[in-house]
A and B are shown apart, each in its own frame.
Chain A
Amino acid sequence: MNPAEKRSIDPASQAMLTRAAKEKVPTAWDRLEAMRPQCGFGQLGLCCTFCEMGPCRVDPFGEGAVVGVCGADADTIAARQILRKVAVGGSAHSDHGRTTAMTLLQTAEGHGDYSIKDEKKLRQVARYFGIDPEGKETRALAKAVAQAALGQFGNQEGELIFLKRAPETRQKLWRELGIAPRGIDREVVTALHQTHMGVDADYVSLMKQSMRTALADGWGGSMIATDLQDILFGSPEPLRAKTNLAAIKADKVNIVVHGHEPVLSEMIAEASRDQELLAKAKEAGAEGIQISGLCCTANEILMRHGIPSAGSFLHQELAVMTGAVDVMTVDVQCWMPALKDLTEHFHTRLVTTSNRAKQLGTHHIEFHEEHALETAKEIINLAIESFKNRQPDRVEVPGVEVDMIAGFTAEYIYKMLGGRFRPSYRPLNNGIMEGRLRGVVGVVGCENPRVCQGYAHTELIRELIANDVLVVTSGCSATAAARVKLLQPETAFQMAGRGLQEICEAVGIPPVLHVGACVDNSRILIACSNMVLEGGLGNDISDLPVAGVAPEWMSEKAITIGWYAVASGISVWFGDPLPILGAPGLTQFTTHDVDKMVGAHWSFEADPIRCAHQVIAHLNAKREALKLRPMMYETQDAAAG
């Protein structure tokens, strides 16, 4: 077996990994090998570096120290770390949300180069904030919405307004448990305080704050990011797009936008159509200017404009390996500092753009909303210059590119299932109630070189759809699924169970629906609320036959997402376990006891097929509790067989 085949199931990745090996350029996979064996204490959550009496580590087998210097036991040490990770992950999404709100505010005040693209959504979001949009002029309304959104960050008392978009039963539960978040920033600060040396030593209390902080992300920062981006850049609707490294065009000036925030990449995409720049590119000998994305910045502009995605998280180094990337911009989150050395190996210019995300020695063009277009043009100019330095003999772009359908949102489902005049979730709920659909599962999350790239995502999804589970996907999971054609509608007829196939056929959808970037997992929360509201599937999200899975996760954001899903009533499966297994009380709480509290819990299963069947059993149990009919074709097949 070619070693590259163990690292990725994607032929384009394999080609570039082979090239990297040949040219002795290290990648994440190589660095992981060099790192092994990885620290067992860290993996089990038993290492604490929070104060300078330590570092402390406690022995999972009871043979060494069982508590740290301060006396914190394994449960406290692991729980404090989880809470701190949740605060970090939530901060990433929420700071993204804040940027979006600031951009909306500037736009409303007439500064900068952006405009309001989705007025209807603006009016809808205004209503969520309790602002009556009647008779208000667009800009004035946008300003009020932006200010209200910004207010959510600094809110000290009461609770986040968007919690009201959850089913009432859930809202009541949050209040009863004392985990309804007050303000986005407040929960993070409280969380960090709680994890300071000598504060909270009760892992249940720490986990409740984890849920509260996570909810401030899911129903706060992330939701604000998603909604306000829809207002500014347009709400996605289904469209055709392509992914994989062939998005990088050997004959064009290539700008690869990487990271998570679409504010800059939106503008770069717009600037790439500038006639003057196009002429300049032509002059430099290029056929045009090609924008492609990586990671979640890719998902943002793919969902809204169909701009191709060059790949997911682990493609970032492999894209550079094509030798055809003239500029790679990075904004925030999930870009590897390794890119600096790697780009220097080629002609590629790496550009950092956020004042929060810099690297010594890397070219920095700081992005400010008010000069967005100017900055975008500067970057394209840089790319054209860089193109001139390209070494044609070193260009090697794998010719792999796959079609997909993307652009699904919680709002669009109404239209998808009823057109202009019968907008409704009814057909979805009916599909579940009648046993055509077993349930809906969100397969989301990162990639991790510890897992063969894309293997777990795609095996899991195939198994789920074969068992009549409708899959929604986001982030790098979506891109992985797209690479093996799972986001093509025709796939339903080859891989989906008969019931799911009938739904896909009736509606015209793929069996796997791409809902956007990882910050857009908030769309899944809204979709679940809508399902409850539509009726027939219980009174709370925790009654629904739904689940969330992150089979190849790696980032702290994934932990936050997992916790807000659980706190919202959606049980979650992770491939690698959370770093808690050394803490027996916390593990018991996370995987079992929390269910009694919020009606959902965590499970860990690395094998995607086994994981799929655990999820299926979970959906079946939820169906049984709802007294739904047996699966339509299972009974028929069983009767026939």
Chain B
Amino acid sequence: MSRIVTQAAVRGAHDILGRAEALYRQCMEEHEGRQAIGFPETAYYLPMIYSLLGEEISQLNQLEPILEYLRKDLCPPVPPADRLWLPYLENALDAGITTLIAEEIYNCLRYLLGTEPHDSTWHGFISDTILRTLGIQLVDGRMPGFAAIVGAAPTTEIAVDVVRELQKRNILTFLIGNHEGRTCRDQLLEANVITEDPKAGWDIYIVPLGPDTESIIYALNWAIRGALTFGGHKKGDWKACLDYTRARIFAFGIGLGTIDDLKYGSGAGAINMGFPVICDTEIPEIRPTGVCTYEELVRELDHKKIVPTAIEVRGVKVKVTDIDVPVPVAAAFEGETVRKADMQCQMGGKYSPAFEYLRMREMDEVEDGKIEVIGPDVDTVPEGGALPFGMLAEVAGRKMQTDFEPILERHIHTFINHAMGIFHMGQRDMNWLRISKNAYNAGFRLRHFAEVLRGLMMEDFPALVDKMQITIYSDVEAMQPALQEARKVWKERDDRLAGMTDESVDLFYSCTLCQSYAPNHVCVISPQRLGLCGAYNWLDGKAAYEIDPNGPNQPVPKGLCLDPIKGQWKNVNDFVYNTSNRGVERFNAYSLMEDPMTSCGCFECIVTVLPDGQSVMIVNREYPGETPLGMPFSTLASSVGGGHQTPGFLGVGRLYITSPKFISAEGGLPRIAWMPKELKEAVMERLQARADELEMPDFPTKIADETITTDFEGLINHMMAVEHPALTMTPLLG
């Protein structure tokens, strides 16, 4: 009965609210009202309060009105009656929000008292940095969702099984709370699935947050920040924030063991966010849909079915790949490294000759599914030894084009890494692979690389790849013909890519992948200007369009050229106007100052004009320090994103810096006066090449970095000292 759920949730809300109030009074006795409070490493204050109530809580006594609001306005005063009850769904939901906010206050105060995180083996609050890195995966679908396991499984084996089921599907798992003192974290530690370092859990998608139910707030105030960071919603816009979490963040709760009042209260809070709860005990269900997308509260007594049930109830879109290899395959294992001590065998790197090469063939030249290993297998190599490794992947498909070869080839790295216990780095003939002892003992051999690659390739690129055969060479002699061919083709590809200009094509490609959080933003990707995120170039756009003709990458015929210098075309303007929800009337592809391209927020770097009005600086996302403009990247970023045109500010991908079309309307490369050292080094090879083309071979040395100066005056002095070319160019402003 939902009434019983509501009764429990209301009692749970009263319980935690009472404890939060008591702790608040205790803190007020021990501290000044002005005492600073907050969670570590977040710009969102107490994120749940910030999102839902719009309050920026940074000192202790600011909690007073919040607690008062919960007590007087929000928390239902009594649970619903047993007969002639009044409508109670609203009570359950309001009790849920009360619970979440009270939990947030309670845990924040425990941070103040130094009792949170529980101990070093529990993660506690999740920082904004983790939110950015992992949250993107959560909203763009690479990570299909997250599960909050509350309680503990009846046995260690069941705990491991449930978590493995989640891991297999790339679903991030948080471990929270306990059942009669026992935690799921204990169970997974016992089974060596996780270590005592909670931060290490991020790599394997299992993070223990805290041993009590209140810690659920860490998962939920992480999720709600997604609405602010990626959804671009404003503080206090509770409706938009909660709609966002329901629509975009595929989270759910799994309750293992007894569901007590506080768990019901917390669950009701999760349901407000659109996250359903699935329990392994005889709880009453709430099945009519509409608060969540599908059912709200469901029981599943069979532990084998609990994860599939949860996925169905939340509507999580998971691509389950059934690839016949002895280790699990999932994106969750992508970041995993294999340390030397754990390694059975390695290939490539500096240890043996190796390469990987993908080639398109005619349909009748490929026998789909054929896998051949030429040479000795891994079991002939002593533990810790090395083996030559050449992989020739041949694909055929009606829609396959040679242009797509490099895109598919680049995916070898990603796909191979999806296998648990396997490590891959590099590309072409600079690749490096390791097989862990665990994977080896599980039966992993050379042909399994091919199985993984083929399985994932066929799944991710079904429109392009109809057939695929793979040959693996571990015999150096045997690999030579393939390697020679590969080297010849790689050179051709480089020449072809390098030879492409904006003028040589009739079509550009749009990218509206990010309209989910910058609704008016459109990227226009041309051969000489890749997407500002750095992840999509023109060929990728083309391939993506082939793969999904209705997807976010659409061909944009250039049409009449309105301005060749600034890079403006009639059809492109029309397209941008319509797809930006009539927000952007025209744009110049090559200009920083006049109708520049908008940014979503994902840009790798920001280009901005400096106060001298002559030169520009470029700062990359990774650079945390000060810049000559007096603002770090994070501050600058706020004036660039959101899909608005901001003359003088531009979000760009790294590779665009060295493009001949880099702000060419304003004179291009010679405008660059400053960039962080790391960025400069990363693009140096191409930077030098471009400088040579411009017959300014010493130009790269004239670009200052933070080791030279981080203030504007210092920069001007440096520019004068090195006779920086920007000083004599036409002013950008006025």
Contacts and interface: CB of A to CB of B under 8 A. Distances in A.
A427 B290 contact: yes
Interface string A409-442: 0000001111111101011111100101000000
Contacts of A427: 288-291
B655 interface: no
A588 B348 CA distance: 87
Contact of A506 (B2, B85, B94): B2
Interface in B284-310: 286-291, 296
Contact of A430 (B1, B89, B288): B288
Contact of B90 (A239, A418, A429, A430): A418
B84 A503 contact: no
Given A427-B288, A427-B290, A508 B93 contact: no
A403 B86 CA distance: 12
Contacts of A430: 288-290
B84 A422 contact: no
A431 B84 contact: no
Interface residues of B, number: 32
Interface in A190-229: none
A508 B291 contact: no
B171 interface: no
A507 to B, nearest CB: 4
Contacts of A415: 90
Interface in A470-521: 488-490, 502-503, 505-509
Interface in B1-46: 1-3, 6
A397 B296 CA distance: 48
Interface in B61-98: 74, 80, 83-94, 96-97
B291 A422 contact: yes
Interface in A120-160: none
Contacts of B90: 415-420
B272 A419 contact: yes
B290 A421 contact: no
Contacts of A419: 89-94, 96-97, 272
A421 B237 CA distance: 10
Nearest to B243: A422
A405 interface: yes
Contacts of B89: 416-419, 506-508
A422 B242 contact: yes
Given A405-B84, A416-B89, A417-B291, A506 B238 contact: no
A497 to B, nearest CB: 13
A505 B2 contact: yes
A420 B94 contact: yes
A421 B289 contact: no
B84 A421 contact: no
Given A239-B86, A419-B93, A502 B238 contact: no
Contacts of B88: 507-508
Contacts of B287: 502, 506
A488 B87 CA distance: 11
Contact of B86 (A238, A417, A420, A428): A238
A574 B83 CA distance: 35
Interface in B511-532: none
B93 A421 contact: yes
Contact of B291 (A405, A418, A420): A418
A340 interface: no
A509 B272 CA distance: 20
Contacts of A377: none
Nearest to A534: B290
B288 A431 contact: yes
B576 interface: no
A508 B272 contact: no
B291 A426 contact: yes
B272 A422 contact: yes
Contacts of B3: 505, 508
B687 interface: no
In this complex, the member of B85, B87, B291 whose beta carbon has the largest number of chain A beta carbons within 10 angstroms is: B87
A505 B1 contact: yes
A437 to B, nearest CB: 9
In this complex, the member of A422, A428, A430, A507 whose beta carbon has the largest number of chain B beta carbons within 10 angstroms is: A422
A416 B2 CA distance: 14
Given A416-B90, A505-B2, A436 B85 contact: no
Given A420-B97, A508-B85, A503 B288 contact: yes
Contacts of B93: 418-422
A488 B83 CA distance: 9
Contacts of B286: 506
A506 B90 CA distance: 10
A424 B296 CA distance: 15
Nearest to A431: B288
A416 B87 contact: yes
Interface string B228-240: 0000000000110
A436 B97 contact: no
A417 B92 contact: no
Nearest to A436: B288
B468 to A, nearest CB: 40
B360 interface: no
B52 interface: yes
Contacts of B84: 240, 403, 405, 488-490
Contacts of A434: 288-289
B103 to A, nearest CB: 15
Contacts of A489: 84-85
B291 to A, nearest CB: 6
A415 B89 CA distance: 9
Given A417-B290, A417-B291, A419-B90, A508 B80 contact: yes
A62 to B, nearest CB: 56
Contacts of B97: 419-421
B148 to A, nearest CB: 19
A493 B87 CA distance: 15
A242 to B, nearest CB: 10
Contacts of A428: 290
Nearest to A489: B85
A431 B286 CA distance: 13
Contacts of B289: 427, 430-431, 434
Interface in B246-285: 272
A22 to B, nearest CB: 36
Nearest to A507: B89
A238 B86 CA distance: 6
Interface string B604-647: 00000000000000000000000000000000000000000000
A415 B97 CA distance: 14
Contacts of A508: 2-3, 6, 80, 85-89, 91
Given A240-B84, A405-B87, 19 more contacts: A239-B86, A418-B89, A419-B94, A419-B96, A420-B90, A421-B97, A422-B272, A424-B290, A424-B291, A427-B291, A434-B288, A489-B84, A490-B83, A502-B287, A503-B288, A507-B87, A507-B88, A507-B89, A508-B86
23 contacts: A417-B291, A418-B90, A419-B89, A419-B90, A419-B94, A419-B96, A419-B272, A420-B74, A421-B93, A421-B239, A422-B291, A424-B290, A424-B291, A427-B289, A430-B289, A430-B290, A431-B288, A436-B288, A505-B2, A507-B2, A507-B89, A508-B3, A508-B89
Interface of B: 1-3, 6, 52, 74, 80, 83-94, 96-97, 238-239, 242, 272, 286-291, 296
Q: Which 8 A-B pairs have the closest CB atoms?
A: A427-B290, A419-B93, A508-B88, A430-B290, A426-B290, A419-B90, A508-B87, A419-B94
